[in-house]
Every structure is written in structure tokens, then in C-alpha cells.
Chains A and B, each alone.
Chain A
Amino acid sequence: QSALTQPASVSGSPGQSITISCTGTSSDVGSYNLVSWYQHPPGKAPKLMIYEGSKRPSGVSNRFSGSKSGNTASLTISGLQTEDEADYYCCSFAGSGTWVFGGGTKLTVL
């Protein structure tokens, strides 16, 4: 079970859009539409932002959206705000009741 691959860092200016990729394999991301995304500010608990690939929990801004193509899932944040600055992690079901996270991406809002 290997960690999903995410870029180590991405950056953008306020108001811009950014996309964070999450690449897995045909055994996890590619086989299930069960990718979730978490926002993790330093020193705080992770927060669920997207589930089942593209669905937003109640209370999460519609500036956050998710998608998937093949073995790669993506998180897009539009209209970047300084409060979006955090680490972001993807997570996928990997079969047999197991889950795998990505290595995390640090988002910097310039």
C-alpha cells in the first residue's frame, strides 16, 4: 500500500484558481469513486472538504470542487483566499476495508 502522489507545494494569488492533483493506481483511485480531500491547517485537526470525489459537505464553500480521471483525482480551489492557506491531503479507498492518504500538498496564497 503506497501513499498517493501529490505535489509537495502549490501557490496562487488571491482570487486565482489552483488545482492539486492526487495520483494513485488502478487498485485505489482508479477502482473506486471514494476519494476524499482534507484541509489541514498547522496545529489543527484536518477538515473534510470533499467526499466521494466531488461532493461537498454542508458548510464547505462552493469554491472547492473535486474531480477524477482515471487514476488521478483533483481538487480545485477557485477565488483563492488567504484563509485557504493550509496543507491538503487526498485519501482513497484501497479495497479490503483499507484506506490510503496522499503525501500532502502545501498551499501558499501569495
Chain B
Amino acid sequence: QLQLQESGPGLVKPSETLSLTCTVSGGSISSSSYYWGWIRQPPGKGLEWIGSMYYSGNTYHNPSLKSRATISVDTSKNQFSLKLSSVTAADTAVYYCARYQTGTASFDYWGQGTLVTVSS
């Protein structure tokens, strides 16, 4: 059974960089059928797609984040990561990592999510 688990600091100061890691277990991050993505949910709001990455490096990002988001993959650790620079209070959210399956064009496995608060 595939499992995804987010990890990282729960508190980040304004203007700093938010860094999260998603550890994938029960399957290989190097599979050709999947992308790996990040999605967030600000308090009281809906889901927002942040970006997705193929294990070989092909990456797509939400243009609304104005290039602040960087997604990378570490195949040796079966992990992928998110870095979001110059954070503000508006970046406070529950951050989810998820697997995107190309065959069904959908996010079929999700982590439990981790709350990141941006505050001084």
C-alpha cells in the first residue's frame, strides 16, 4: 500500500523559505506512470495546486505563486521536496503531498497533510 508522509517545520518566519519533504513508501518515486505534487489548503479555504514534478526533473508550477515554489526529487531517498520562498501570512496552510497518476489524470494518493504557520 502506497503511503506518503509530509515532514518539515510547522512554523516559518515571514520573508523566509518554507521547506517540506514528502517521503514515499510502498512504491518507487521513479516509476514512469506518476508525477509527484504539492497541494495546500489555507485555513477556511479550498485546495490550491502548487506544482508537480516527474522523477526525471520535468516540473510544472502554479503561475499564481510567481516562481516562489521549487519542487525537487531525491530518487535515492524516495522523497520529493517543496521550497517556497519569501513567505507571508498568506502562505499559512495545511500542505499535502500527493501522487498524480498519468493514466487517470488524477491525484490518487495523498499524505495526511502538515500545517505550516507563517508568523514572527
Q: Which residues of A contact B (CB under 8 A)?
A: 1, 3, 6, 34, 36, 38, 40, 44-48, 51-52, 55, 57, 89, 91, 93, 96-104
Which B39-63 residues have a C-beta within 8 angstroms of A?
A: 39, 45-49, 52, 60-63
Query: Nearest-CB distance from B55 to chain A (Å)?
Result: 15
Give the number of chain B interface residues (Cβ < 8 Å).
23
Query: Nearest-CB distance from B52 to chain A (Å)?
Result: 7
Q: Is the CB of A51 within 8 A of B46?
A: no
- Given A1-B62, A98-B60: A52 and B105 interface contact (C-beta under 8 Å): yes
Interchain CB contact (< 8 A) of A98 among B62, B108, B113: B62
**Complex CA distance for A101 and B63, rounded to whole angstroms:** 14
Which B83-111 residues have a C-beta within 8 angstroms of A?
A: 96, 98, 104-108, 110-111
Nearest B residue to A98, CB-CB: B60
Interchain CB contact (< 8 A) of A91 among B49, B61, B112: B49
Q: Is the CB of B113 within 8 A of A103?
A: no
Q: Is the CB of A46 within 8 A of B96?
A: yes
- Given A46-B96, A96-B60: A102 and B46 interface contact (C-beta under 8 Å): yes
**Complex CA distance for A23 and B35, rounded to whole angstroms:** 26
Q: Is the CB of B112 within 8 A of A48?
A: no
- Determine whether B64 belongs to the interface, using a CB cutoff of 8 Å to chain A: yes
Q: Which of A1, A34, A46, A102 has the most CB of B within 10 A?
A: A46
